[in-house]
Structure 1
Amino acid sequence: MSKAATVGESAGRRSGPALVALAGCLFAFLTAELLPIASLRQLAAGLHTTPGAAGLLLSGYAVVAGVLSVPSVALTARLSRRTLVVAALGLLALGQTLLAIAPSLQLAMLGRAVAAASHSVAWAVVPVLAVQLAGPGRAGRATAVTMVGASAAMIVGTPASGWLSAQIGWRATALATAGLALGMAAALRVLLPGATTATSAPVSGAADGRARRGRWPVVVVCAVTALVVTGHYVSYGYFELLAAGSGITGAGYPLLLAGFGVAGLAALPLVGRTLDRRPGVLAAALPGALLLAFGTIAVAVSTHRAPAAVAGALVWGAAIGGLPVWLQGTVIRLAGAGAERWSAWYVTAFQVGIAGGAALGGFLLGDPRDPRPVLLPSVSAAVAAATLLVTAATYRRVFAVTAGPGPARR
């Protein structure tokens, strides 16, 4: 084994607890973000509004996070990353507390805006910090480890939020997520090094000179992010309606949500290893899997076949679980020294996709008294097909670019 490889192994062992805590940070953020999906009807009743209006708590969050992502990362570039991540979690706790005590939709949206402001910083910084901590040759796997937190939020966080909302109310559930955020802040205050800033540590595994010929390759990845996330949220924001249209209701719905998240978690190790070794494979595999999943769900909804819906949801969950690892990992690899700045643009593109997809999904549903849920996965499938065309056209110059020199991993 080479000396570089030995250093990488040592760095990986030392960074393990910190990477797990960073995954916990993303778990807290995503669980909080998706609370309206888990508890939409309870939120609407508690805020004396309609479910459609309560859905603005999701799309409004996405808009704020997207708008603030780039300027907030730029303004905090010289701060310690430890201080920044801990402060972001503190702001998340404040936002969730404001949501919990809000008497109206307008004040609830204020609390969501506070949380969204911290979200934009965390999701831009945490994956880059994980790559810095992990050492050479581990960029894909470090990103995958932190994204376990996102998958766990879908497996445990979102179903648990729905269950807790039914048991103790959505306000107490929001306070519970605030407590979770404070707990993760305390853990990261202890585990993260204090000196690292956006410019004080290199990003290992950055692409070589072929990938740094201008900004175009990273812009392409951000555009693909906005496109594919739009297709995802056209359907995901109305997951419960799709399940009901396929004949899955009652206790079956939380199980379907959990299966969706488990599939995403199971895909993470494979996606992380593939990103480090053969990144171009993911450009076809993940959009292709989404196309298959949405097509299957469209058939399930139109024919009311629950088994087809389950199969489609599992493929969908696996693909969407690996998507952030692939896309943000590609941004980090292509951007080199500008990884955090371009990660902020990636977060903006992701949030544009969330807001646009949720809005488009609501439009496609039509009259809430007579919704048309079959249109949602059909449009999502069309967007997945368009994504495949874009990744195929830019494959050699963007998605097949491998990492620069570093120790080989086997």
Structure 2
Amino acid sequence: MTTSGTAPRSLLRAWSGVAAITASLFVFVTTELMPVGLLTPVSAGLSVSVGLAGMMVTLYGISAGVGVPFLVAWSRTVNRRSLLAALLVIMAAGNLVTAVSPNFAVLLAARLVTGFAHGVFWAIGVAMAMRLVPGDKASKAAAVVLSGMSIATVVGMPLGTFIESLTDWRTTFLIWSGLSLLVLVAVVLTLPSLPSASAVPVREVFSLPLANGRLRAVMTTVALYVLGHFAAYTFIRPYMEQNAGVAPVWVTGLLIVFGVGGAVGNFVAGHTVTRNMRATFVAACAGLVVSLLLVLLIGHGPVGLAVAIVLWGVSFGAANLCQVNMMLAAAPDTFEAAMSLNTMGYNISIALGALLGGVFATGFGTAGAVWFGVALTLAALLASAARRAPSGSAL
């Protein structure tokens, strides 16, 4: 009787831990993407150009990507519960320093350090959740944790933009610092001790694409669409304001629309990717190209923008689900190495996309950043459509 009574409690705690990890992902992803909705007020408040303000996304992405294999290897003996708690402390401190930054240099330094914590979380977070529950529930736990990304896109970033419209951008980051501490408390209360089960050697991460042609193909195509997306998306708020004349409340609403579209894209692709992964990815890339063109062609008013951004969100959500499946399909026997490599490549692409988008936004206006996004997503579409892959391959 004691055993039967204890099992439900243990299972409840396990899923509470999964929920705490999901909340952690929500905080990390929202912190990463928050500047997208705050570029205009941050650039005005710290007297820098909008293009330069995009470096908030660039540096965060660089540290989140480049540092992953090294930091995971160096922390191979650290209890994963303790490591996650430390990452959340860094996240809270980084948001606090961002909120009180006296100048743009200090703000960038805070973003750089916070990005390192973000990258390590991606390398360990999903695996932690899968260890908390029974083996047959591991995939469900992973899906629950990954939903934190959709929640951050649908709720977190638009909420940050809305809070900024009521207060200011400093208060927004201050609130997110406090939220990081609340999630830290949840992690400490719900997660059991999780000794490091395995670490990813740095040499394995960097040697994997050299020996795996399929993985190289996936990485190249994913890098192209992520570069294109973030080159345009990083500057979507100033584009809306300058080209469509929309008010901040419309910016918030359209960002929510994008996030909802992303959740829909994830859901739809979840049903189609198992049937034909390559066709699903090709369709998603085509949707990205068309949606960015629509932003340029009909995005001069709220209605046209809404149509374009719905398609953009759906396409990006579907592409994201595809790229994770393609990465794992290309390297099924080296799961942890593939995950670290995916984290590194994806975040570096975010950083470079924001950087190159900033160059085009500064030189040609915000529409230039969107045109650059069109070119790169078109390259991803052509690469994925032209590649003939055998049945069951990743691309």
Q: TM-score, normalised by structure 1?
A: 0.81
**Contact 1:364–1:372 at 8 Å: present in 2 too?**
yes
Residue 237 of structure 2 is aligned to residue 240 of structure 1: yes
2:4 corresponds in structure 1 to none
2:361 corresponds in structure 1 to 365
Q: Hey, what's the Cα distance between the residues in 2 that align with 1:80 and 1:330? A: 30
**Contact 2:266–2:320 at 8 Å: present in 1 too?**
no
Deviation at 1:147, TM superposition (A): 2.0
1:317 corresponds in structure 2 to 313
- For residue 67 of structure 2, give the secondary structure of its aligned residue in structure 1: helix
Q: Hey, what's the Cα distance between the residues in 1 that align with 2:312 and 2:153? A: 13
Cα distance, 1:79–1:324 mapped onto 2, change above 3 Å: farther
1:226 corresponds in structure 2 to 223
Q: Hey, what's the Cα distance between the residues in 2 that align with 1:384 and 1:122? A: 28
Which one of 380, 383, 391 corresponds to residue 384 of structure 1? 380
Deviation at 1:194, TM superposition (A): 1.1
Aligned length: 378
Matches within 5 A, 1:180-219: 180-199=179-198, 215-219=212-216
- For residue 298 of structure 1, give the secondary structure of its aligned residue in structure 2: helix
**Contact 2:227–2:373 at 8 Å: present in 1 too?**
no
Cα distance, 1:368–1:162 mapped onto 2, change above 3 Å: farther
CA deviations over 1:338-367 (Å, ceiling 9, x no partner): 433331211110112112212232333353
CA deviations over 1:151-197 (Å, ceiling 9, x no partner): 11111111111121222221221111111111112212222231342
Deviation at 1:220, TM superposition (A): 3.8
Residue 337 of structure 2 is aligned to residue 341 of structure 1: yes
Cα distance, 1:310–1:383 mapped onto 2, change above 3 Å: farther
CA-atom RMSD in angstroms: 3.3
Deviation at 1:255, TM superposition (A): 1.1
Amino acid at match of 2:356: L
Deviation at 1:28, TM superposition (A): 0.2
Residue 118 of structure 2 is aligned to residue 122 of structure 1: no
2:40 corresponds in structure 1 to 41
CA deviations over 1:215-238 (Å, ceiling 9, x no partner): 444444333332221121121112
**Contact 1:27–1:150 at 8 Å: present in 2 too?**
yes
**Contact 1:141–1:273 at 8 Å: present in 2 too?**
no
CA deviations over 1:90-144 (Å, ceiling 9, x no partner): 1111111111121111111111111111011001111233334455465654433
Q: What percentage of aligned pairs have identical amino acids? A: 24
1:282 corresponds in structure 2 to 277
- For residue 393 of structure 1, give the secondary structure of its aligned residue in structure 2: coil
Cα distance, 1:17–1:398 mapped onto 2, change above 3 Å: farther
Which one of 346, 353, 358 corresponds to residue 349 of structure 2? 353
Cα distance, 1:41–1:296 mapped onto 2, change above 3 Å: closer
Deviation at 1:329, TM superposition (A): 4.6
Which one of 252, 256, 278 corresponds to residue 258 of structure 1? 256
Q: Which runs of 5+ in 2 are unaligned?
A: 1-7, 200-207
1:56 corresponds in structure 2 to 55
Cα distance, 1:343–1:126 mapped onto 2, change above 3 Å: same
1:94 corresponds in structure 2 to 93
More divergent stretch after superposition (191-200 vs 107-116): 191-200
Q: Hey, what's the Cα distance between the residues in 1 that align with 2:367 and 2:329? A: 43
- For residue 69 of structure 2, give the secondary structure of its aligned residue in structure 1: helix
Q: Hey, what's the Cα distance between the residues in 2 that align with 1:365 and 1:53? A: 10
2:293 corresponds in structure 1 to 298
2:204 corresponds in structure 1 to none
**Contact 2:266–2:318 at 8 Å: present in 1 too?**
yes
**Contact 1:43–1:54 at 8 Å: present in 2 too?**
yes
Q: Hey, what's the Cα distance between the residues in 2 that align with 1:226 and 1:137? A: 33
2:388 corresponds in structure 1 to 393
1:146 corresponds in structure 2 to 145
Cα distance, 1:325–1:299 mapped onto 2, change above 3 Å: closer
- For residue 89 of structure 2, give the secondary structure of its aligned residue in structure 1: helix
Deviation at 1:67, TM superposition (A): 1.5
More divergent stretch after superposition (298-307 vs 44-53): 298-307
CA deviations over 1:22-80 (Å, ceiling 9, x no partner): 22111101111122111112212222322222111111111122221110111112222
Q: TM-score, normalised by structure 2?
A: 0.83
Q: Hey, what's the Cα distance between the residues in 2 that align with 1:334 and 1:300? A: 34
Q: Which runs of 5+ in 1 are unaligned?
A: 1-8, 201-210, 401-410
**Contact 2:14–2:133 at 8 Å: present in 1 too?**
yes
Q: Hey, what's the Cα distance between the residues in 1 that align with 2:133 and 2:237? A: 38
1:107 corresponds in structure 2 to 106
Amino acid at match of 1:53: L
**Contact 1:297–1:309 at 8 Å: present in 2 too?**
no
CA deviations over 1:285-306 (Å, ceiling 9, x no partner): 1442232243143134224465
